[in-house]
């Protein structure tokens, strides 16, 4: 993806701009999507872009959660209809979720009726409590509640340690009050969102969202760009699903991590290549009688330079893939 997207993430505290930098920034802004909102109190820290009419995306950082980024490391979106607003993912803390809520309120005063979670991972659900005051329906895959309940203690402990007291404040587990069994349509007035549960892939509770007015497809963490994919479900299931998505017609897709919006089918290709490389390498190692330990040192390392956070997640991905593939 364009380096502009990456550089934007890297620029945390803004140094004084040279004239050349200023011109470059002005040009980048002119070329950016329809709308850009930066709340005054959160300048340099939080922005959303209108990628299609009424459809806003905040891009998270390619980082692990920390006191500095306050769990703002995934993409979060909101869709504005004639009657109501739906939020898609809430970031990794209540403080980050509140920034998202402020960004929504700067755009519209319409009621926030739905908070949709694309899957159970903390970087997508730990901001849920920031929307409690709106009394929305919390919406997710029917397996999300069980997944989150099983992991709640561990997720809370890990995030408390990594975020620190201040950014951890107010975080609680909020499971769906509206569970999607297969497919569900939410009416926002003049536009609807079609929610579809997906088979086990990135996790066992991935949910996709399609906006009927613009055709935009929100893939959650079924699509990673720049940020290395994280496997917590089935690598074979994930590859099969990506194959299916590559045949879909959508004018744009929104990844769970990556740029605000991307095009099909190209957007899927680096992830297909990454997961496909792991499968091919692990299968060969198993066939040659190699161990899991061998695999974690060899499999998929040709992909190392293609992804951010590779060293943090790759060995876990290989471990999960090995467990799945050794019983073929």
List the structure tokens of 219.
């893939």
36: nearest Cα among 17, 51, 21: 51
Pairing of strands 112-116, 55-58: unpaired
Q: Of 50, 221, 232, 271, which lies in the binding site for Zn ion, with binding defined by CB under 5 A?
A: 221
Residue (202 or 252) nearer to Zn ion, CB: 202
- What is the full DSSP assignment across 168-194? HTT------SEEESSEEEEE-SS-EEE
Residue (101 or 121) nearer to Zn ion, CB: 121
Shortest Cβ 121–Zn ion spacing (Å):
5
In angstroms, what CA-CA distances link 314 with 11, 238, 256, 296, 303? 26, 16, 18, 8, 10
> What would the x/- binding string for Zn ion be over residues 250 to 289, using CB under 5 A?
------x---------------------------------
Shortest Cβ 82–Zn ion spacing (Å):
31
The Cα angle at residue 154 between residues 275 and 176, in degrees rounded to 5: 80
Q: Does the protein bind Zn ion through residue 232 (CB under 5 A)?
A: no
Shortest Cβ 111–Zn ion spacing (Å):
27
In angstroms, what CA-CA distances link 161 with 45, 68, 155, 258, 305? 22, 13, 10, 25, 29
Count the site residues for Zn ion by CB under 5 A: 5
Segment lying near Zn ion (by CB under 5 A), choices 143-151, 213-221, 259-267, 272-280:
213-221
Shortest Cβ 313–Zn ion spacing (Å):
11
Residue (70 or 121) nearer to Zn ion, CB: 121
299: nearest Cα among 225, 231, 245, 221: 231
Segment lying near Zn ion (by CB under 5 A), choices 157-165, 206-214, 217-225, 301-309:
217-225
Segment lying near Zn ion (by CB under 5 A), choices 63-71, 218-226, 240-248, 273-281:
218-226
Shortest Cβ 314–Zn ion spacing (Å):
16
Shortest Cβ 21–Zn ion spacing (Å):
31
User: Is the separation of the CB atoms in 233 and 206 below 8 Å?
Assistant: yes
Pairing of strands 183-187, 192-197: antiparallel
Residues 45-104 that bind Zn ion (CB under 5 A): 74
Residue (120 or 188) nearer to Zn ion, CB: 120
Residues 106-145 that bind Zn ion (CB under 5 A): 121, 123
Shortest Cβ 223–Zn ion spacing (Å):
10
The Cα angle at residue 175 between residues 172 and 177, in degrees rounded to 5: 130
Q: How many angstroms separate the CA atoms of 12 and 291, rounded? A: 42
Residue (117 or 210) nearer to Zn ion, CB: 117
Q: How many angstroms separate the CA atoms of 62 and 255, rounded? A: 13
- Please list, residue by residue across 37-67, b when 16 or more beta carbons sit within 10 angstroms of its beta carbon and e when fewer do: beeeeeeebbbbbbbbebbbbbbbbbbebee
Applying CB under 5 A, the residues found at the interface with Zn ion are 74, 121, 123, 221, 256
């Amino acid at each position: 993806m364009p380096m502009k997207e990456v550089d934007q993430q890297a620029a945390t505290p803004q140094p004084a701009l040279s004239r050349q930098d200023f011109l470059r920034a002005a040009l980048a802004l002119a070329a950016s999507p329809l709308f850009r909102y930066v709340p005054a109190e959160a300048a340099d820290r939080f922005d959303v872009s209108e990628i299609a009419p009424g459809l806003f995306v905040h891009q998270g950082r390619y980082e692990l959660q920390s006191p500095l980024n306050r769990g703002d490391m995934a993409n979060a979106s909101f869709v504005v209809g004639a009657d109501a607003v739906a939020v898609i993912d809430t970031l990794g803390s209540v403080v980050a979720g509140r920034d998202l809520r402020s960004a929504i309120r700067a755009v519209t005063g319409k009621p926030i009726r739905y908070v949709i979670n694309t899957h159970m991972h903390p970087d997508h659900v730990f901001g849920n409590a920031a929307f409690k005051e709106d009394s929305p329906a919390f919406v997710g895959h029917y397996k999300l509640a069980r997944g989150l309940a099983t992991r709640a203690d561990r997720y809370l402990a890990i995030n408390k340690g990594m975020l620190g007291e201040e950014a951890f404040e107010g975080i609680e587990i909020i499971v769906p009050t509206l569970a999607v069994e297969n497919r569900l349509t939410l009416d926002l007035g003049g536009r609807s969102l079609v929610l579809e549960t997906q088979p086990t892939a990135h996790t066992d509770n991935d949910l996709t969202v399609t906006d009927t007015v613009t055709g935009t497809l929100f893939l959650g963490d079924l699509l990673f760009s720049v940020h290395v994919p994280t496997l917590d479900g089935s690598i074979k299931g994930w590859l099969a699903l990506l194959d299916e998505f590559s045949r879909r017609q959508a004018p744009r897709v929104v990844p769970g991590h990556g740029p605000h919006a991307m095009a099909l089918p190209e957007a899927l290709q680096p992830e297909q290549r990454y997961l496909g490389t792991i499968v091919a390498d692990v299968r060969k190692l198993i066939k040659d009688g190699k161990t899991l330990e061998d695999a974690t040192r060899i499999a998929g390392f040709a992909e190392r330079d293609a992804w951010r956070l590779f060293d943090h997640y790759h060995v876990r991905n290989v471990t999960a893939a090995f467990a799945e593939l050794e019983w073929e």
